[in-house]
Each structure stands twice: as C-alpha cells, then as structure tokens.
Amino acid sequence: MQQPLKNLFDKKANIIKLAENLGLNGEKMILDNKWQNNIRENVVTLCNIPSPSGFTYQICDYLLKFFKDKGFEPYQSNKGSVIVPLGGEGNPIVLAAHIDTLGAMVRAIKSNGRLRYTNIGGFPAFV
C-alpha cells in the first residue's frame, strides 16, 4: 500500500471520531435522512453568514463556537484561519476549505456576448 494511503487508513479512528462529533454515524457513514438533513442545515447556515473576502469575522466566530460545542479545541491563526486539531499521532491529515465567499464582478460584456470578470478579493493572478 502506498504510504499516503496507509497514513489515511491509520487515521481511521480520528476520522470516525470527527464524524461522530459532527453527528454522523462514523463507522458506517450512511447517508440516512437525519445525516442529510444535518448537512443541509449546516450548508444553509454557513451560506447565510456574510463572508466576503477580507471580512470573515462572523463566519470565523461561528466556526470556532461550532467546533468547540462539538468537543474540539479550535483556534484562530494570526492570518485568520480557523484550525481544528483532531488529535492522534504520526503524520497529520489536513482538511482545508475556503471560509470566505469568493466573488467576481462583471467588468464588461464582450462583442460575442461573453462576460469579462474582475475579481473581488483574493490574490492577483501573478502571485
């Protein structure tokens, strides 16, 4: 077995713990109605928290409280990332996700009808 894949399976207990702390059936990971409703409610809640690039204070506060209420010890980095240690030993598994709402604004309509966008937030393309 390839080393990264082996490390993932070594982390099975941590993944199961995370799933169970999030209200899921960690051992079977079955998508029953309760699980689906839980996901749907969390997605709707997250999408309703204003989080434009550069202004993620509300969603950071929500995530810090959410994970603390689930028994984890989240903290915020000096760059604003929410970090949630899952515990365990050995090589860590990292789950990373945007918490800001990435956006674009229509800059122009081309002669062929296609749109030209300009970024809202984020980094310049050359970085």
Where is 29: in which H helix or E strand? none
Instruction: Show the tokens assigned to 96.
Output: 């990373």
Rounded Cα–Cα distance for residues 13 and 32 (Å):
21
pLDDT (0 to 100) of residue 19: 67
pLDDT (0 to 100) of residue 122: 58
pLDDT (0 to 100) of residue 4: 43
Residue 107 dihedral angles phi and psi, to the nearest 5°: -95, -35
Q: Per-residue pLDDT averaged across 44-64, rounded?
A: 90
pLDDT category of residue 39 using cuts at 50, 70 and 90: confident
pLDDT at residue 110 above 80? yes
Q: How far is CA 9 from CA 12, 20, 48, 95, in A?
A: 5, 17, 35, 15
pLDDT at residue 127 above 50? no
pLDDT (0 to 100) of residue 64: 95
Rounded Cα–Cα distance for residues 58 and 49 (Å):
7
